[in-house]
Amino acid sequence: MFVKNESKADRTHRVDRIMERLDSRYGSEPPIFLKSSNAWQLLFATILSAQCTDERVNKVTEKLFKKYVDLGAFAEADITELEEDIKSTGFYHNKAKNIKACAGDLLQRFSGVVPDTIEELTSLPGVGRKTGNLILGHIYNKNAIVVDTHVKRVSNRLGLADSQDPEETEYQLNETVPEQYWIRWNTHIISLGRSYCKSARPDCEGCFVNDLCPACGKEEILEATRAGAAGGKRRKTKSNM
């Protein structure tokens, strides 16, 4: 939900104050929750993170990247063996197929270099806008907003987006959040969503941005975002991330 009668200037001032508090709590340098040593490792880790916790992905990739040391190893991997290696991340049939095909594409089309445009990134198997924007922000330091379930939920509650569709939410945040905050918005809002602004039981009273949040204390708004999130989960299929 957008805040009614909030001018663009007032909204920008409110976002500035929200980001100031987020930076104070979580730091001004955006962390990377998925462990990796290079661009293609982060790309594959992000593909594995679809409907899986970062903690689980990090446990899997700790062994995975030692076994498959380069793109060639992934491109030539036995698909059944690769599926077994990543099975605990869920949806392993699709993920293994996409990672193997993605490795081949990177070698054949991009000379083994992860591309730096959203158009090229999303042309790779298994790579959607979420994954592509994460690579742009964390590898190439290009301003990009990454929308996952936490970012979508919390941004809607903060009145900076009004959609349950991740891509539409991204475009709305492009308009409502100043560009210099885009990279940090993802990691900060994920942290806020995990600690305070949870889907089922948000801690509005304890939240350090509650006075800047239009949903704070408004149960009907929180119920709407919960219902929207539940509907999104039901509609979600094994689509590209």
Give me the active site residues, please.
130, 148
Two tokens, residue 189: 């809002």
Please state the three-class secondary structure of 132-155 as a single string. HHHHHHHCCCCCCCCCCHHHHHHH
| Diameter of the chain measured on Cα atoms | 58
Contact yes or no for 164/149 (Cβ under 8 A): no
- Angle at which helix 182-195 crosses helix 8-26, to 10 degrees, equals 70
Gap between the Cα atoms of 202 and 180, Å rounded? 28
Convert 216-231 to b/e letters by CB count within 10 Å (16 or more is b): beeeebbebbbebbee
Compute the CA torsion angle 211, 150, 182, 139 (nearest 10 deg): 150
